[in-house]
Chain A
Amino acid sequence: MRSFWRVFFVGGAISYRALFNWISPVMYVTTMLGSPLFQVLFFAYLGRFSRLQDDTFFVVGNGVQISAMAAIYGMTMGIANERNFQTLSPLLATPANRLALFLGRALPQIASGLFVSAFGFGVGLLLLDFHLGWSQIPPLALVLVVTVSSCTCFGLLLGSIGLRARDVFFISNLVYFLMLLFCGVNLPLDALPGWMSAIGRCLPLTHGIEAARAISRGAALGDVSGLIVTEAAIGVVYATAAFGLFRYFEYEGRRRASLETM
């Protein structure tokens, strides 16, 4: 059991340092903070122009969604780059517990995603017409933890696909932008056609954003508990599918001797 947690925490931290050694402070600030900063501003101003909703709607939607920078891109790289860097074979030759090995990689991305989201909300508070009371922060933080974790589970799924797919980064890029459209980030779900909102409800972020918006408008934690549970359940489903795919591709890779075939 001790070994499980060691692989989970220490292994996760070491893998982050190894796979993301190219992220310098400048790169992190410009990519993970600079780009989201302007994303929040862009959609808030577009919202003002379209007269659709107030700033709160867009700050909360984008403040939550920008966590997908870490949760989707970061998590995809956290799994798929083992193959690209040719380190997958030695990794899978170890007897380390696969679940700990797999889930441990998610922890640094969840932390990074939460930091990026908190920054996005800070941007809204400082630069836009967005307000948040002290009493709203703990429930909002809980919603963010659940939502970012759920979205990271989705990223795990994409990362697992990256163990086999030729260009998973195309897929993760596409998913990131589609989430802007399908997950109610900048639009109320009822403004979308039925089939689009149905897809959105099966994706992470959607219920979390709805819960975060309700809290930022004064709802209590109990009022949004159903949304939080749904968001968490969606994350569990994606994590299970991701781990299943990971084990399947490991098994297939061993059988065909194609673990690191590009």
Chain B
Amino acid sequence: MRTIRLLALGWLFHVKGLTSSGFFVLTSTVQPVIFASIAFFMFEAGARPGTLLYVALGAGLMGVWSSTLFGAGGAIQWQRWQGTLEITVSAPTPFLLVMIPMTISAASIGLYSIAATLFWGRVFFGVPLHFAHPWLFVLALPATLLGLGLLGLVMASTFVLYRQASAFQNLLEYPVWLITGLLVPLALLPGWVAPIGWVLSPYWGMRAVRESALGGDPLVPIGMCVGLAAVYLVLGALFLANFERLARKHATLSLT
């Protein structure tokens, strides 16, 4: 019970913190709306019919990825800069349980992205909001956020080992948008790209959300999101333990 309380309160605390950051407001609401607008205009001018809801959801998920990448990927590094890393590591609570709500909250504020692009699309572009499986859509969203949030845990625990981690964060935004098919179908990309997307939760999250909204069988992608989340959790726990061991051994916990 205490663990659940810790996770829930940690999640709420970090959601509030990220929501008050101008950078994350830009990343999770303004930027997806701009990308959605570009895509709406492109699809309208290109006379590609029936794709506006597809675009709104894709642009929203792009925002989820950006929030996760910048919010979760740099979570440990940010604690270092703020001087709170030593305190959280030395607390009796396992460090993993401190990190999980932090990275999931970063993915969660991506919900703003989906809400923003759907609202924007509906009001300004007349996007039809007819969902094929509304209940599965409601199920697909948390599964997607869980998958992305725990991928964020893996990123946080590996990026922290590199001083140039923020450089990798800048690099990874567009490629993941591309190779997980958030706006461009993988069929248009070279064949070797698809298998890379399969091990990334944004690909399955995109399929879960899109197939529950536009029709299809979203249960498999929802299951894949949850399954990948479990794999990421194991990997994240291992990497985090390794980071903690190395930091204690070399006395580099607070070194940036």
Contacts and interface: CB of A to CB of B under 8 A. Distances in A.
Contacts of A252: none
Contacts of B46: 50-53
B1 interface: no
B171 A31 contact: yes
B249 interface: no
Contacts of A48: 184, 188
A5 interface: no
A64 to B, nearest CB: 16
Contact of B173 (A35, A52, A181): A35
Contact of A187 (B22, B45, B48, B167): B45
Contacts of B164: 24, 26-27, 30
Interface in A24-55: 24, 26-27, 30-31, 34-35, 38-39, 41-42, 45-53
A181 B167 contact: no
A81 B249 CA distance: 37
A178 interface: yes
Contacts of B48: 49-51
B175 interface: yes
Contacts of A180: 34-35, 38
B97 interface: no
Contact of A173 (B23, B43, B177, B183): B23
Which secondary structure dominates where chain B touches chain A? helix
A69 B228 CA distance: 35
A41 B188 CA distance: 12
Interface string B41-66: 11111111000000000000000000
Contact of B26 (A49, A52, A173): A173
B189 A177 contact: no
A34 B172 CA distance: 9
A198 interface: no
Contact of A42 (B23, B42, B167, B174): B174
Contacts of A169: 23
Interface of A: 24, 26-27, 30-31, 34-35, 38-39, 41-42, 45-53, 167, 169-170, 173-174, 177-178, 180-181, 186-188, 191-192
Given A34-B171, A35-B171, A49-B184, A41 B26 contact: no
B41 A49 contact: no
Contact of A30 (B35, B41, B170): B170
B39 to A, nearest CB: 7
Contacts of B185: 49
B44 A191 contact: yes
A188 B47 CA distance: 14
B178 interface: yes
A39 B168 CA distance: 15
A41 B189 CA distance: 10
Contacts of B44: 191
Contacts of B77: none
A177 B170 contact: no
A206 to B, nearest CB: 15
Given A31-B171, A38-B175, A177-B34, A192 B188 contact: no
A191 B42 CA distance: 8
A191 B46 CA distance: 10
